[in-house]
């Protein structure tokens, strides 16, 4: 049966001398990479990691992220990728909820562990293992050095659980979407249907803990034997240089990345002749920015993706011709191996031009939320994933998201849920009420705005709010602006966020 680890082994057998991974000048061919992964798997096994164990992986983009990922997968462990910018409060919830007994920590992140000491003890013991030689921690590379390079003797099957991807929900607490090897492998099949293949060279600058980069490009790419160039983080000039120098053929960037690269004065001086496909997604891209992109890089086929973590990600996309003709649309076609419908509250299909909730089903849809049957039943109904996105289809079949039932804000390609931010801000001693909404931002897609009602007689500043909330949520979730006002409510007492959003929209001339 096919597995993610088995696909890496197959690629190593088929293309042993092909370059598999390049990171900070260190190049590994497929045979060597697979052997190094095997050594990592034996090292993790020596620490007690086995089939079904949850292994949290918190690291910026690196070669060790990939080695640790596949080492755990080859043992049949369930990998839990975590945002390396998580605060101690966020990290504690993710570890407790997943039940991870092992935490693999990337470079510069061992300090996050110290923040756990002041919080309530975790319900389970967690062993921390460094991916970068942090003092006082076991080190995966050092442990791997004396291990055999043979395949670990484990019985991992296609229907075994493989990955838990955490995504925030309306409760304000992240929920873990669970996937088995089968579902993740089918995502790779889908990428092949839109032109990603064996001889491609991929550049990874989007965070690899995120569903889109991890599943659509890392896992799918190693399954077909593609070459992977990894940068630790995004910087416009460095990304543009890497695209040219490494003869990259396939690239995924969030809209903010593309817009910042378009701002480089010497962008046209680089040789992008190998670059075939440019994917963008994870956040709205203004039509004007799409038009600038296709004008500046006319020889590249651009594909817009709009998916959901719970879908694996499945959702909708626009092909190159669609991007050119309708840069304002969110998508036109269901992502491969999935079906899509727009339905009303009763589950009936809506007519053209009528808003409806987008629901999807297919081979890649999550098994459910980890240890959360109530949320699973709400999201998965009769085999369909209810996305919470309100979408309109026009007469030509183009699809546009017009609202999000879950009040999600997408800023710089990262999903931020308003309730999570509100919960962090609400504890401020001078805040009586707070609502968080997104405002259109040309660079980040949306920026986070806190609408605050202070306690009578108290004063609240944006700097004070940010400083208070930074102890509880990651920095990119902090508000960039603040408005002082009473919160509008309906007769049931619910806050009217659409009123707040309308007030924040740019005034039309």
pLDDT tens-digit readout, 204-250: 999 999 999 999 999 999 999 999 999 999 999 999 999 999 999 99
From the list 67, 76, 41, the residue with the least C-alpha distance to 154 is: 76
Provide the number of structural domains found in the chain.
Answer: 3
What's 222's domain CATH number? 3.40.50.12780
The C-alpha angle 70, 73, 74, rounded to 5 degrees, equals 85
Residue 410: the pLDDT is 85
**Does 165 map to a domain?**
no
77 and 201 assigned to the same domain: no
User: Do 95 and 205 belong together in one domain?
Assistant: no
- Which of 205, 227, 256 lies closest to 61, judged by CA? 205
Residues 265 and 354 in one domain: yes
Mark whether 332 and 431 lie in a shared domain.
no
Asked whether the CA dihedral 200, 203, 208, 210 is positive or negative, the reply is: negative
Rounded to two decimals, what is the model's pTM? Answer: 0.86
**What is the CB-side half-sphere exposure of residue 95 using CA atoms within 13 A?**
27
pLDDT tens per residue, range 270-281 = 999 999 999 998
**Contact between residue 52 and residue 80 where contact means Cβ atoms under 8 Å apart:** no
Q: Are residues 468 and 492 in the same domain?
A: yes
Q: Are 363 and 452 members of one domain?
A: no
Q: Supply the mean pLDDT for the chain.
A: 91
Contact 177, 380 (CB under 8 A): no
Closest by CA position to 496, among listed 509, 485, 480: 485
Cα–Cα–Cα angle for 159, 161, 162, nearest 5°? Answer: 115
Do 392 and 439 have their domain in common? no
Last residue in a domain, options 389, 406, 423 = 406
**234 and 371 part of one domain:** yes
Do 187 and 312 sit in the same domain of this protein? yes
Rounded Cα distance, 267 and 285, in Å:
20
Q: Are residues 399 and 413 in the same domain?
A: no
Among 351, 385, 406, the domain-final residue is 406
Domain boundary among 124, 157, 190: 157
Instruction: Convert the pLDDT of each residue in 295-324 to its tens digit.
Output: 999 999 999 999 889 999 889 999 999 999
Tell me: do 400 and 416 sit in the same domain: no
Residue 173: inside a domain: no
Return the beta strands (E) in 31-88 as ranges: 54-58, 78-82
Listed in order, strand segments (DSSP E) in 412-460 are: 414-417, 431-441, 445-454
Domain that holds residue 360: 181-406
Q: Is residue 168 part of a domain?
A: no
Give backbone dihedrals phi and psi of 444, rounded to 5 degrees, phi first.
Answer: -100, 0
**Per-residue model confidence (pLDDT) at position 492:** 47
Same domain, residue pair 390 and 301: yes
């Amino acid at each position: 049966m096919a597995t993610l680890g088995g696909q890496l082994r197959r690629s190593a057998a088929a293309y042993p001398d092909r370059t598999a991974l390049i990171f900070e000048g260190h190049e590994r061919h497929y045979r060597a990479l697979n052997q190094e992964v095997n050594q990592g798997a034996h090292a993790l096994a020596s620490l007690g990691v086995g089939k079904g164990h949850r292994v949290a992986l918190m690291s910026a983009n690196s070669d060790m992220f990939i080695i640790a990922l596949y080492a755990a997968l080859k043992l049949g462990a369930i990998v839990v990728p975590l945002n390396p910018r998580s605060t101690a409060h966020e990290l504690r919830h993710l570890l407790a909820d997943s039940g991870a007994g092992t935490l693999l920590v990337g470079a510069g992140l061992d300090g996050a562990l110290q923040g756990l000491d002041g919080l309530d003890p975790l319900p389970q013991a967690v062993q921390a293992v460094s991916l970068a030689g942090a003092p006082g921690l076991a080190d995966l590379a050092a442990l791997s050095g004396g291990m055999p390079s043979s395949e670990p003797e484990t019985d991992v099957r296609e229907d075994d659980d493989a990955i838990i991807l955490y995504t925030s929900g309306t409760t304000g607490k992240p929920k873990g979407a669970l996937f088995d090897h089968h579902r993740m492998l089918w995502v790779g099949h889908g990428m092949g249907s839109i032109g990603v293949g064996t001889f491609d060279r991929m550049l990874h600058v989007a965070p690899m803990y995120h569903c889109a980069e991890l599943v659509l490009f890392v896992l799918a790419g190693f399954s077909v034997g593609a070459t992977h160039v990894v940068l630790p983080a995004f910087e416009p000039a460095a990304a543009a240089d890497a695209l040219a120098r490494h003869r990259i053929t396939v690239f995924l960037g969030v809209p903010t990345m593309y817009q910042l690269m378009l701002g480089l004065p010497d962008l046209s001086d680089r040789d992008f002749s190998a670059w075939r496909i440019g994917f963008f997604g994870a956040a709205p891209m203004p039509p004007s920015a799409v038009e600038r992109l296709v004008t500046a890089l006319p020889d590249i086929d651009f594909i817009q993706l709009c998916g959901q973590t719970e879908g694996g990600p499945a959702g909708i996309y626009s092909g190159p011709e669609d991007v050119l003709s309708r840069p304002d649309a969110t998508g036109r076609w269901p992502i491969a191996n999935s079906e899509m419908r727009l339905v009303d509250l009763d589950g009936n299909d809506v007519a053209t031009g009528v808003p409806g909730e987008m629901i999807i089903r297919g081979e890649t849809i999550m098994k459910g939320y980890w240890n959360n049957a109530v949320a699973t039943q709400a999201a998965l109904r009769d085999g369909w994933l209810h996305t919470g996105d309100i979408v309109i289809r026009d007469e030509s079949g183009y699809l546009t998201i017009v609202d999000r039932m879950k009040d999600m804000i997408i800023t710089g390609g990262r999903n931020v849920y308003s309730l999570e931010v509100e919960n962090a801000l609400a504890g401020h001693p001078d805040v009586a009420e707070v609502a968080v909404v997104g405002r259109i931002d040309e660079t980040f897609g949306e920026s986070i705005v806190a609408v605050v009602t202070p306690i009578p007689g108290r004063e609240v500043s944006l700097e004070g709010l940010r400083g208070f909330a930074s102890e509880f949520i990651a920095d990119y979730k902090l508000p960039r602006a603040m408005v002082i006002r009473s919160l509008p409510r309906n007769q049931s007492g619910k806050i009217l966020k659409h009123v707040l959003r309308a007030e924040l929209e740019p005034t039309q001339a």
